[in-house]
Amino acid sequence: MRHLSQAYIDGAFVPVQGSEVVDIINPATEGLIGTVTLGNRDDVRRAIDAAERAQPAFARTTKQERIDMLRHLQAAVLARTDEIREATIEEYGGPLSRSQWVSEYASQCFANAVKTLEAYDFTRQVGEATVVMEPVGVAALMTPWNSTAGSICSKLASAIAAGCACVVKPSELSPIQTQVIAQAIHDAGLPPGVVNIVIGRGADVGNEISIHPAIAKISFTGSTPTGKAILRAGAETMKRVSLALTGKSATIVLEDADLAKAIPLALSAGFLNNGQACIAGTRILVPRARLAEVVELVKTTVGGLKVGDPRDPATVIGPLVNQAQYDRIQHFIRAGLKEGATLVVGSEGRPEKLVRGYFVKPTVFINVRNDMQIAREEIFGPVLCLMAYEDEEEAVRIANDSAYGLQAYVFSSDLKRAQRVAARLEAGGVLINAIRPALTAPFGGFKQSGLGREYGVFGLEAFLEAKTIVSASAVAA
Ligand code: NAD
């Protein structure tokens, strides 16, 4: 049983002044595993003050000094790989293989930032001007509960590479995962105040960050409504804001695809991270002529997926993160049925034999119209829509008929054709015949899935301002 009640401010773990105590529940067992005392506005103001004090000296560090800091961070996070994996399983319910990936990815973020920084020139010549890229100032990094270690580390790596002192505000639903990362950051021995971490509610700690004049930049990952609230609140102080938001991604299976391979991959893309993934391919578009074959493959593939104990290596889908998420998924399954969609597999309620834990049945709907709630809104659980199309034109039209545009997937045996379809999709990223992400290429969303890009050079530049200097050799007489 853990009782977490500290923030990380100015290089030290300090008791929070907030008084709200929240239970930490293991989602696979519904057992109480700890409590967390949430920080409040005063706590985050202290964190912002510390970052503000650290910023001038940190902005003057050389590229090599920041590379050294990133290497220290990489080593410190790498040393806690096992702890990150265990916390991700215990607190979040991430299946073993996914939790292992996340724990390795966390340290890899810093290694990727080192490579980006080594190759990056902060000064360039544009015509007669010298353009200097400078750190934007104190940055706030706000993260969701569905990828705590990965989101914190990838944002932090870019911010440190740029020379921005940070205030990290992770989700209030992931305090154990945050604690492990905070300890690793402390072990890395960065100058006090360069990284500060306060867990708290969005409505007070998150809002304080959004309105505080000393915060120059917000890098946010979370839902679209929250992203809009942050953008509005930050406008008054003209904050630079990057938003990585909600998705409702389409997977287009073209009629020449090898269905035996494509359908299991498409389902994996939909059920990624227990279905709680922004990039999940949740609208699977298949040619009407091959619908019957697809339905059979969906039944056999989903029937073979193990749902249950996230520690079991055979488990593909673990529990949802909490009761609220469980209830949300039940609501969407009922909504789908009410609107006239029908079930291929799954239904309301828990899978058989799982009497405890926030487990849901992997569910796939058919007879879905793209104007139904289940096709338009992000469900954020293992509930997918299977939709038939007549031809490529219709597939592209349905895929693009969404308020969101984070990711898309295309499956085809003709790569050139798949690339032509990819070029027409309104999405920040398109994966063809694969569900493997590119971790140094720009990542972000079209339309209401976001603003700006993360990762690699694009992620670094999101924390930089361009200054243009035009010089004459002498003052004209
Ligand atoms: P959320 O928007 O509820 O919360 C995200 C963060 O914002 C949390 O730290 C929360 O405390 C904070 N917050 C909440 N209200 C706030 C406010 N008014 N002002 C400032 N901060 C506030 O999202 P969530 O439920 O934690 O995460 C799930 C969502 O995140 C999904 O929509 C998912 O698609 C999205 N997501 C997107 C990406 C991406 O890269 N595009 C990645 C992961 C998750």
Residue 386 is assigned to a structural domain of this protein: yes
**What's the token pair of residue 282?**
């949740």
**Do 339 and 291 belong to one domain?**
yes
**Do 293 and 212 belong to one domain?**
no
User: How remote is the CA of residue 313 from the centroid of ligand 1, in Å?
Assistant: 29
Residue 27 is assigned to a structural domain of this protein: yes
Strand partners, 22: 36
pLDDT of residue 388: 98
**Do 396 and 293 belong to one domain?**
yes
Cβ–ligand 1 contact at 247 (below 6 Å): yes
Q: Taking residues 116-126, report their average pLDDT.
A: 98
pLDDT of residue 477: 60
Q: Taking residues 161-175, report their average pLDDT.
A: 98
Number of domains in the chain: 2
The domain of 457 spans: 2-245+449-468
* Ligand 1 atom 9: residue of nearest CA: 171
Cβ–ligand 1 contact at 273 (below 6 Å): no
Q: Taking residues 250-277, report their average pLDDT.
A: 98
Q: Taking residues 435-464, report their average pLDDT.
A: 97
**Do 226 and 357 belong to one domain?**
no
**Do 368 and 454 belong to one domain?**
no
* 8-state DSSP, 236: T
Cβ–ligand 1 contact at 103 (below 6 Å): no
User: How remote is the CA of residue 203 from the centroid of ligand 1, in Å?
Assistant: 12
Q: Which atom of ligand 1 is nearest to the CA of 142?
A: 9
Per the CB < 8 A criterion, the answer to whether 110 and 73 are in contact is yes
- Could you report the per-residue pLDDT of 391-447, keeping only the tens digit for each? 999 999 999 999 999 999 999 999 999 999 999 999 999 999 999 889 999 999 999
Please state, rounded to an integer, the average pLDDT across all residues of the chain.
97
pLDDT of residue 38: 98
pLDDT tier at 22 (50, 70, 90 boundaries)?
Answer: very high
Burial class (CB in 10 A: 0-12, 13-18, 19+), 257: buried
User: How remote is the CA of residue 55 from the centroid of ligand 1, in Å?
Assistant: 26
pLDDT of residue 80: 98
Cβ–ligand 1 contact at 202 (below 6 Å): yes
Cβ–ligand 1 contact at 145 (below 6 Å): yes
Closest by CA to 253, choosing from 284, 296, 293, 289, is 284
**Do 37 and 71 belong to one domain?**
yes
- Mutate which of 20, 41, 141, 146 for ligand 1? The one with the most ligand atoms within 8 Å of its CB, which is 146
Q: Taking residues 261-290, report their average pLDDT.
A: 98
Cβ–ligand 1 contact at 243 (below 6 Å): no
Q: Which residue matches tokens 């569905």?
A: 146
Residue 443 is assigned to a structural domain of this protein: no
Q: Taking residues 14-42, report their average pLDDT.
A: 98
Q: Which residue matches tokens 């990362």?
A: 181
Burial class (CB in 10 A: 0-12, 13-18, 19+), 375: buried
Q: Taking residues 216-238, report their average pLDDT.
A: 98
Residue 26 is assigned to a structural domain of this protein: yes
- Could you report the per-residue pLDDT of 49-77, keeping only the tens digit for each? 999 999 999 999 999 999 999 999 999 99
| Element holding 130 (H helix, E strand) | strand 129-135
User: What CATH number does the domain containing 372 carry?
Assistant: 3.40.309.10
Burial class (CB in 10 A: 0-12, 13-18, 19+), 268: middle
pLDDT of residue 476: 63
How far is Cα 343 from Cα 340, in angstroms, rounded to an integer?
10
Q: Taking residues 117-127, report their average pLDDT.
A: 98
Closest by CA to 178, choosing from 212, 208, 143, 213, is 143
DSSP code per residue over 385-404: EEEEESSHHHHHHHHH-SSE
Q: What percent of the chain shows pLDDT beyond 70? A: 100
Q: Which atom of ligand 1 is nearest to the CA of 226?
A: 2
- Could you report the per-residue pLDDT of 73-92, keeping only the tens digit for each? 999 999 999 999 999 999 99
Cβ–ligand 1 contact at 206 (below 6 Å): yes
Strand partners, 21: 37
**Do 158 and 30 belong to one domain?**
yes
User: How remote is the CA of residue 64 from the centroid of ligand 1, in Å?
Assistant: 34
How far is Cα 411 from Cα 251, in angstroms, rounded to an integer?
8
**What's the token pair of residue 348?**
């309301």
Q: Which atom of ligand 1 is nearest to the CA of 244?
A: 41
* Ligand 1 atom 15: residue of nearest CA: 202
Pairing of strands 342-345, 315-317: unpaired
User: What CATH number does the domain containing 223 carry?
Assistant: 3.40.605.10
**Do 219 and 93 belong to one domain?**
yes
Contacts of 210 (CB under 8 A, 6+ apart): 218, 229, 230, 233, 234, 239
Q: Which atom of ligand 1 is nearest to the CA of 222?
A: 30
Cβ–ligand 1 contact at 226 (below 6 Å): yes
**Do 225 and 76 belong to one domain?**
yes
Residue 437 is assigned to a structural domain of this protein: no
**Do 213 and 254 belong to one domain?**
no
pLDDT tier at 136 (50, 70, 90 boundaries)?
Answer: very high
User: How remote is the CA of residue 223 from the centroid of ligand 1, in Å?
Assistant: 4
* Ligand 1 atom 22: residue of nearest CA: 202
Residue 475 has pLDDT above 80, yes or no: no
- Mutate which of 199, 224, 226 for ligand 1? The one with the most ligand atoms within 8 Å of its CB, which is 226
* Ligand 1 atom 31: residue of nearest CA: 223
Cβ–ligand 1 contact at 230 (below 6 Å): yes
How far is Cα 440 from Cα 414, in angstroms, rounded to an integer?
26
Cβ–ligand 1 contact at 26 (below 6 Å): no
Residue 215 is assigned to a structural domain of this protein: yes
**What's the token pair of residue 341?**
């969609």
Q: Which atom of ligand 1 is nearest to the CA of 406?
A: 41
Residue 28 has pLDDT above 90, yes or no: yes
Closest by CA to 186, choosing from 5, 4, 10, is 10
**Do 231 and 257 belong to one domain?**
no
Residue 184 has pLDDT above 90, yes or no: yes
How far is Cα 350 from Cα 222, in angstroms, rounded to an integer?
27
**Do 208 and 230 belong to one domain?**
yes
Residue 191 has pLDDT above 70, yes or no: yes
Residue 473 is assigned to a structural domain of this protein: no
**What's the token pair of residue 408?**
């898309």
Residue 283 is assigned to a structural domain of this protein: yes
